[in-house]
Chain A
């Protein structure tokens, strides 16, 4: 199985900050990488697919990059509604696996 490791596990940031979350795969997955946002008590929401494609309706403050084993989710200017937990997920092969999550908290 492909293991997905996110860093950091949590971070504190202020509104307006630039935030970067990293996801590393245990083997090369090309750009078979998706990012989701989850708020407490809610279902996950797709943000980025295929490493860098922005899902329709998602603000352009979100961007994704990377290929192979190393990927990044960037929030260019953190907004109050962005405080949530973020998960990466590989779609290279089954079992499709998620990272452990990165919780973005208010500083």
Chain B
């Protein structure tokens, strides 16, 4: 069974930095796009960033561009999210998800981790 396990969340002050990790297992990590999705407390889901298999393409939601960087280490089956210049509005549970491409370029998030909570507060 596909497993995704996030870590690295915690309490950080506004303006601070945090690096999230996602350890993947039970599938060929290097063959898949990967994604971060977040959910603020009591709110809905927001796509944050995605990265292609070889890291050659990366996409971000506008609100994190220039502050967050998605990366991956296929040798270690790991996905990362470097978060800098954190703001109170970045407070959320951050989920790692596998992005699957189907016919005619349809895509979807087929497996999700359990999430890691990031709290930005002084």
- Measuring CB to CB, which residues of chain A are less than 8 angstroms from any residue of chain B? 31-32, 34, 36, 38, 42-46, 49-50, 53, 55, 87, 89, 91, 94-101
Contacts of B102 in A (CB 8 A): 49-50, 53
Q: What would be 5 A-B contacts, judged by CB atoms less than 8 Å apart? A: A31-B106, A44-B95, A49-B108, A95-B47, A96-B47
How many Å lie between the Cα of A94 and that of B47 in the bound state?
9
The one of A43, A50, A95 in contact with B112, judged by C-beta atoms closer than 8 angstroms, is: A43
Interface of B is mostly: strand
Nearest to A46 among chain B residues (CB) is B110
Contacts of B103 in A (CB 8 A): 50
Q: Which residues of B contact A (CB under 8 A)?
A: 37, 44-47, 50, 59, 61-62, 95, 100, 102-103, 106-115
Chain B min CB distance to A31 (Å) = 7
Which of chain A's residues has its CB closest to B110's CB? A46
Docked-complex contact B44 and A95, CB < 8 angstroms? no
